[in-house]
Structure 1
Amino acid sequence: MAEAAAETKKSKPGWRTLARSLKNPKSGYMALFGFASGLPFALFLGTLYAWLSEAEVELETMGVFSLIGLAYAFQFLWSPLIDKVSIPGFRKLGRRKQWIVPSQILLGVILIALSLSNPTNEAIGWFSLLAGIGALASATQDIAINAWRIDVADEEATLDILSTVYQMGYRLAALVGGALGLIIAARIGWPQTYLIMGGILLAIGIAGLFAPDSKAGENVDGTVTDELLLSLRKKGELKPSVRAKALGAVGLLWALAIGVVLTFMYMSLAYAPEDRPNPTDFTVNYGPWIIVATVVIPALIAGWLASQKAKGENVMTEDLPERAGNSYAVDHLYRALVMPLVEFVGRMGWSLVLILSLVLTYRICDAIWGTFAYPFYLGELEYTNDEVAFASKFFGVGAIIAGLALGGYLLTVIGRMATLTLGALIAALTNLLYADMAAGGANMQAASDFIGFSALINFMAPFGSEGLPRLTFTIMWENLAIGIAGAAYVAWLSSIVSKKYSAVQYALLSSLTLLVGTLGRGALGEMIEDQGYYDVFILTTLIGFVAVVLCVFEWIRVSRAGAKSGVVTPDRHDAAPEPAE
């Protein structure tokens, strides 16, 4: 009885659970890694343009730097390397740290090198090369950090809390590398600012040496990669000829996708400004086909392979001898490219349709709306740059961090799926707040006045106009909702991938979230032109309600899966149950 009471006390949700998780050293390292993940993104895709503008770099030349965004959009293309390849000389650091630490140190060196460079039109080639390598290193560390978070989660440093802490660090880095970076540069100059940022990343890279991790070549469950490869040649596994054909098809599709991206990058760097392809057009026109080639068709192939194995068709009737030569290489490539999809599709079955639908819709409102936020604030509502910076950068980032903290607390109290559903609902409803702003903002102003928020903002920002409180009020509630939804979404997305293939599976799923926002911006922009912002916000609210319905169905699926496996509260567990070997 005493033992049961102690267990009940230990597992009691709430602030104690949250505090215990935050005290775990893994949470501290997660915050550092989250900061290291968000800082380069802010410096390469935001602040860098301000530096180039001050250096009077031509707009056509600056367009080359938009290529940097491709590294983040298509990072899943090299995610199999993170799961499969060990870096010579860095294996002892650990399975994920052998990628994380070198990437962070390389980023620190690149930022310092940028601080010593001169971004003029004549010397922009070297500058852009450094920034491009930095973006690749940044996207690579993102893959490894996401996989590390999934791998090291345990009963104390839970996946939910680590996911929340990661986003807090990421958002804080966005503030430091964005708004704070601009303030620092205005006082000491851009080179000195990037020198400081480079030093910060070097320090994080050194600190990361002491973070926990599994050994290189070893899976988190204690098995090693060679044992996984050996299992491919056991009785009951798919025939090598079948695997080879599947690998050939998937490998060809991935090679074509990588070739298309590399060709585009070459054309953008080597061609004259007037002949360079447009990055946005490339993402819209080729992005869906890249996803089809690397995700959709391979998933269908993986589904067929999983069904063949389940039916006992095209499987080996006896063990094969140890692999050598070509068969050795084929097994390695199959393990890197095909097995992550076979495992995921085989484990999820038809539930994959629900999961992909939720991935595509859960954050679609945020992903699409972000592009039009500043035109709405500055153009439609006619706020000044200072007012928008105060409301969205300073107050807004604080509201997101507060939302993440609240989301982390809710994850410990009501569980992952309940928080996911609540986050989808309130994120959808906040679109109605913007609809009111588009209609004049009378309700937002009245609510802000009623609770005394307007007086607070007028005191904090005396430079602001009469309408600044209602803008800040609206952004505050939206960002609180984004924080709650973001905490739940990353925790859920992390929970449905296998720890054995976390780098590939998470990168593939997260890339879908990024792509759907890019694809929807063109249509939404046309709707804004034709019907105005008010109708757009009503539409995004309805899309958000679709995500709420899908969350309910996913909640039911997770509950049923937990009931079958004997798990009492599956939505609070650290990861989805691994399939039987």
Structure 2
Amino acid sequence: MTMLTRARGWAAGLAIYAEARMIIMLLLGFSAGLPFLLVFSTLSAWLREAGISRTDIGLMSYVGLAYTIKFLWAPVLDHLRLPLLDRLLGKRRAWMVLAQLVAAAALAGLSFSDPSTSLTPVVLFALVLAFASATQDIAVDAWRIEAASDEKQGAMAAVYQLGYRIALIASGAGALYLAEGVSWNAAYLSMAALMGVGIAAALLAPRVAEAEAPVIGQETVDGFVRHFHVGGRPALVIAWLYRAVVAPFVDFFQRYGWWALVLLALIGLYRVPDFVMGVMANPLYIDLGFPLSTIATVVKLYGIWMTIAGALIGGIVAARIGVLRSLLAGAVAATGTNLIFVWLTFRGADPAALAVTISIENFSGGFAGTCLIAYMSSLVNHDFAATQYALFSSAFALPGKILGGLSGVMVDGFSATASFTLPLIGMAPHLTAKTAGYIPFFITTALMGLPAILLILVVMRFQPAPRPPRGHAPATPE
């Protein structure tokens, strides 16, 4: 192959990113990523600055469970067509626009709220925003799959991730800059206006063919219907429920046997340290005395690029040493780096220490996240790929989010233990009983990573090769 031929090949490969649908995908990725931090870390910073207790901030993180359980209502978006909007835009774009309008309205509602006066409106608007955002994710993913051929899905996913990360910068660093320079209300109102990017993209997106997906496990469903003499609409409901919930789990347990429980436990425990620690990260920065502009620059702007770097390196390492070995490396790194926050607490409001902490934490988090995605992808049966991956991703997020809601209770509990905090205050004069409580908290979150590490070692040593899916050739062991 000549240099000219190679150059033409690279040019042809890059030309795909100039297609109109790729630009639309970039903008939809931005719209999907924009609400995420606004119900998590950005909101927690606002609440902490407003004097809300860390316990209440931790409990507020439960609104993010909408992202974890979105698979429960995802089939509704496949089967329910919205009046009027469906005729004008088609099923996928109709759901996108509805979700985006609701998300923008919820952000506007938050912008007119005052958490220092009443927390109830903030909770309600944040809950609506989380559900609207999760619904938008479902619709955007469905449009992406239907809008491009298989060979273009990689490029579609790449531009989606780029748009998503840009949105994280806007809703993280951008919102904090606006909050410090103007007000929190102006920051959230600006984010509501930015949802217009997604609405415009959905309206400009081409309408795609929207064929109904075939029912998975049709023979099982038909047998149930015949045995219990079920017909009409109840039979359709049974088929829908079986396809969405039952069949993927049946297949997974048939292929892995009782090891499926070990694998699900591994997935569920893998990111627990990050989820629990992450809820209290912004309150820590506030309590240590970092200004919002510093948090925005170091954590929300610089930190995003460190996460991207870790993710890219994780993909390379997984390809070089294998999925399980890279998974183990990611678990060790993500668990150990929780301890860097102990060092930061001792250092206090030192911007250099914050930069070091974010470099290590975000890089290891991006690395571990890529390794987990690769591992979960390796577990799916391609006949059930979308559904099983959605269920796996929910399984990995659920335990961490549940425990993360108790993170504020943990910090406040440790802070109240004077016998532990007082010696630490003497070691570091800038510490108070309030900030010293973070030290045992981060040590605890690091210890939470040990079960996942042990399970990975067990799987590497003892797990047999999975049974091949029905009708497939036996799998080749890694």
Calculate the TM-score normalised by the size of structure 1: 0.59
Residue 433 of structure 2 is matched in structure 1 by: none
Question: How big is the shift at 1:546?
Answer: 3.4
Q: 1:173 aligns with which of 153, 167, 174?
A: 167
Task: Compare 546-555 and 510-519 and name the one that shifted more.
Answer: 546-555
Match for residue 103 of structure 1?
Answer: 99
- 1:518 corresponds to: 401
Residues 80 and 243 of structure 1: is their aligned pair in 2 closer, same or farther, counting only changes over 3 Å? farther
Alignment CA distance shift 1:61-1:96 (3 Å): same
Which residue of 2 is the match for residue 394 of structure 1? 301
Match of 1:239 in 2: 224
Please give the residue correspondences for 1:78-477 in structure 2 after superposition, counting only pairs within 5 Å: 78-91=73-86, 93-94=89-90, 96-112=92-108, 115=111, 117=112, 119=114, 130-148=125-143, 155-159=150-154, 166-211=160-205, 214-219=208-213, 228=215, 232=218, 237-240=222-225, 327-348=231-252, 349-351=254-256, 352-353=260-261, 355-373=263-281, 384-385=290-291, 390-407=297-314, 414=319, 418=322, 421-435=325-339, 438=342, 465=350, 468-477=351-360
Deviation string, structure 1 residues 95-136 (Cα, Å, up to 9, x no partner): 543322321233234434655x46488998777655543332
Q: Tell me how large the CA RMSD over aligned residues is.
A: 5.3
Q: State the distance in 2 between where 1:124 and 1:70 align.
A: 19
Q: Deviations over 1:144-172 (max 9, x none)?
A: 3344556667553345x655654444343
Paired AA for residue 156 in structure 1: E
Q: Is the 8 A contact 2:244 2:387 kept in 1?
A: yes
Query: Which letter does structure 2 place at the counterpart of 1:238?
Result: G
CA distance in 1, matches of 2:385, 2:228: 22
Shift of 1:60: 11
Q: Structure 2: state its 5+ residue gaps.
A: 421-438
Residues 423 and 481 of structure 1 are in contact (CA less than 8 Å); yes or no, is this contact kept in structure 2?
A: no
Task: Decide whether the 8 Å contact of 1:91 with 1:216 is kept in 2.
Answer: no
Instruction: State the 1:176 CA deviation.
Output: 1.5
SS at match of 2:212: coil
Q: 1:485 to 1:29 in 2, by over 3 A?
A: farther
SS at match of 2:152: coil
Partner amino acid for 1:240?
V
- How far off is 1:430 after superposition? 4.5
Measure, in 1, the Cα distance between the counterparts of 2:262 and 2:13. 30
Code of the aligned partner of 1:333:
V
**Residues 423, 482 of structure 1: 8 Å contact kept:** no
Cα 1:419/1:238, change in 2 over 3 Å = same
1:346/1:67 CA distance change after superposition, 3 Å:
closer
The amino acid that maps onto 2:268 is: L
CA distance in 2 between partners of 1:440 and 1:139 (Å): 34
Distance in 2 separating the partners of 1:184 and 1:178: 10
Superposed CA deviations along residues 375-422 of structure 1, whole A, max 9, x for unmatched, are 76677xx574566555433322221122234446667xx28x935742
Q: State how far apart, in whole Å, the 2-side matches of 1:406 and 1:135 are.
A: 31
Q: Given that residues 57 and 119 in structure 1 are in contact (C-alpha distance below 8 angstroms), is that contact kept between their aligned partners in structure 2?
A: no
Identity of aligned residues (%): 27
In the TM superposition, residue 141 of structure 1 has moved relative to its aligned partner by 1.4
The TM-score, its normalising length taken from structure 2, stands at 0.70
Measured in 2, the distance between the counterparts of 1:472 and 1:378 equals 15
Count of paired positions: 444
Q: Which runs of 5+ in 1 are unaligned?
A: 220-224, 245-325, 446-462, 572-581
1:34 is the counterpart of 2:19: no
8 Å CA contact retained: 1:147, 1:502: no
Q: Of the candidates 451, 464, 469, which is equivalent to residue 543 of structure 1?
A: 451
Q: Report if the CA contact (8 A) 1:150-1:494 is conserved.
A: no
CA distance in 1, matches of 2:450, 2:373: 22
Residue matched to 1:76: 71
> Equivalent residue of 2:73, what SS?
helix
* Residues 207 and 85 (structure 1), Cα distance of their counterparts in 2 relative to 1, 3 Å cut: same
Partner of 1:576: none
User: Offset at 1:544?
Assistant: 4.5
Q: C-alpha displacement at 1:520, in angstroms?
A: 4.2
Q: Deviations over 1:350-381 (max 9, x none)?
A: 424354234213322322322344576677xx
Cα distance in 2 for residues equivalent to 1:236 and 1:103: 32
Query: CA contact under 8 A between 1:95 and 1:218: conserved in structure 2?
Result: no
| Counterpart contact for 1:428–1:544, Cα < 8 Å | no
For residues 48 and 286 of structure 2, the distance between their equivalents in structure 1, rounded to whole angstroms, comes to: 20
Change (3 A) 1:241 1:84: same
Structure 1 window deviating more from structure 2 (493-502 vs 365-374): it is 493-502
Shift of 1:204: 1.5
Compute the displacement of 1:476 (Å).
1.0
**Which whole-Å deviations, capped at 9, do the CAs of 1:21-46 have from their partners, x for residues lacking one?**
75666654444333322322322445
SS in 2 for 1:215: coil
Match of 1:481 in 2: 364
Q: How far apart are the structure 1 equivalents of 2:71 and 2:221?
A: 31
Query: Does structure 1 conserve the Cα–Cα contact (< 8 Å) formed by 2:33 and 2:164?
Result: yes
Tell me the distance in 2 between the aligned counterparts of 1:67 and 1:430: 22
| 1:6-21 mapped onto 2 (5 Å cutoff) | none
Answer whether contact 2:99 2:136 (CA < 8 A) is retained.
Answer: yes
Report the CA distance shift for 1:18/1:335 in structure 2 as closer, same or farther (over 3 A): farther
Q: 1:563 to 1:346 in 2, by over 3 A?
A: closer
- Spell out the pairing of 1:529-568 with structure 2 (5 A cutoff): 532=440, 536=444, 539-546=447-454, 548-549=456-457, 552=460, 557=465, 565=473
Q: CA deviation at 1:490?
A: 3.8
Q: Which amino acid aligns with 1:396?
A: G
Amino acid at match of 1:239: F
